[in-house]
């Protein structure tokens, strides 16, 4: 598709990875400039593995990511606002490890480690014994 559109010189496809851990071993920040989205699974996965994120304040991304604490939140899904959030990330690039640790703690507050077991327990609690 990149060749068809004449942009192959500006496009790089990443190789397939065998696990999420492998992806985030090689990458340091999730940048998700969504214009419309629910709560992205990719955001929760990145945070779970200790990676901060730059997101737009759409749907629940801005609820999960606290600006300057777990990553950076663009106040609107525009080029200018995302650019500002990326600039703040750059200014705090020496704190990526701390931001990632905070992101991991934050996402664990929202989601159980084993969501299937947690959901099963909730369902079973509704069934009379």
In a domain, 2, yes or no: no
Query: What's the number of domains the chain is made of?
Result: 1
Q: Tell me, what's the pLDDT at 120?
A: 92
Q: For position 97, what pLDDT does the model report?
A: 97
Q: What's the predicted TM-score (pTM) here?
A: 0.80
Full domain range(s) for residue 117: 23-123
DSSP, collapsed to helix, strand or coil, labels residue 48 as helix
Determine, yes or no, domain membership for 129. Answer: no
How far is the CA of 75 from the CAs of 34, 59, 99, 116, in angstroms?
12, 12, 19, 33
Provide the residue-wise pLDDT of the chain in tens; the chain has 129 residues: 888 988 888 877 777 888 888 888 888 999 999 988 888 999 999 999 999 999 999 988 988 999 999 999 999 999 999 999 999 999 999 999 999 999 999 999 988 888 899 889 999 999 887
Helix (H, G, I), strand (E, B) or coil at 56: strand
Residue 23: predicted pLDDT: 84
d(CA 67, CA 54): 9
Please tell me the predicted confidence (pLDDT) of residue 14. 73
In sign, the C-alpha dihedral spanning 93, 94, 100, 105 is negative
Q: What pLDDT sits at residue 8?
A: 85
CATH code at 93? Answer: 3.40.50.2000
CB contact burial 62-95 (16+ within 10 A = b; e otherwise):
eebbebeebbbbbeebeeebbeebbebbeeeeee
């Amino acid at each position: 598709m990149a060749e068809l559109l004449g942009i192959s010189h500006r496009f790089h496809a990443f190789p397939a990875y065998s696990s999420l851990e492998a992806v985030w071993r090689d990458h340091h920040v999730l940048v998700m400039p969504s214009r419309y989205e629910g709560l992205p699974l990719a955001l929760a996965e990145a945070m779970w593995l200790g990676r901060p994120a730059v997101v737009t304040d759409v749907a629940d991304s801005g609820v999960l990511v606290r600006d300057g604490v777990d990553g950076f939140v663009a106040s609107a899904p525009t080029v200018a606002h995302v650019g500002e959030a990326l600039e703040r990330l750059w200014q705090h690039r020496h704190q990526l490890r701390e931001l990632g640790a905070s992101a991991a703690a934050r996402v664990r507050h929202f989601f159980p480690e084993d969501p299937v077991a947690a959901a099963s327990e909730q369902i079973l609690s509704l069934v009379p014994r």
